[in-house]
Amino acid sequence: MSTLVDDDLWSAVGDPTRRRMIDLLLADGSGTATGLSERLPVTRQAVAKHLAVLDRVGLVHAGTAGRERRYRVDERQLARAVAQLNAVGSAWDSRLERIKRIAESIQQTTEDKE
């Protein structure tokens, strides 16, 4: 019931800037800290730190090509993250469903009393 979730992975995609970075990397296939920072409202250094976080949880991998450090998304790990989003989403969904049914039955009872 306590939703088997990798907190580090969740927290990684919990940050708005990091989510946008993943979007950009997915759109372009790969990217560098400098390139990404040009399309984000933060500095290159901030982007570099976020890339380090994403790298630590395995959501991206880096390759050094000359003076460039090129990052790309790890599809397996992103798929894992998506699976966890869906898992939590459907867990909450079913809770909400249950609450709705209970609420209806209570209303039923109340109506009986009136």
Question: Judged by CB, which is closer to DNA: 26, or 46?
Answer: 46
Which of 10, 24, 26, 42 contacts DNA by CB under 7 A?
42
Give the nearest distance from C-beta 16 to DNA in angstroms. Answer: 7
33 binds, among DNA, a copy of itself, none (CB under 5 to 8 A by kind): DNA
Question: Judged by CB, which is closer to a copy of itself: 52, or 82?
Answer: 82
Mind spelling out the 3-state secondary structure of the chain?
CCCCCCHHHHHHHHCHHHHHHHHHHHHHCCECHHHHHHCCCCCHHHHHHHHHHHHHCCCEEEEEECCEEEEEECHHHHHHHHHHHHHHHHHHHHHHHHHHHHHHHHHHHHHHHC
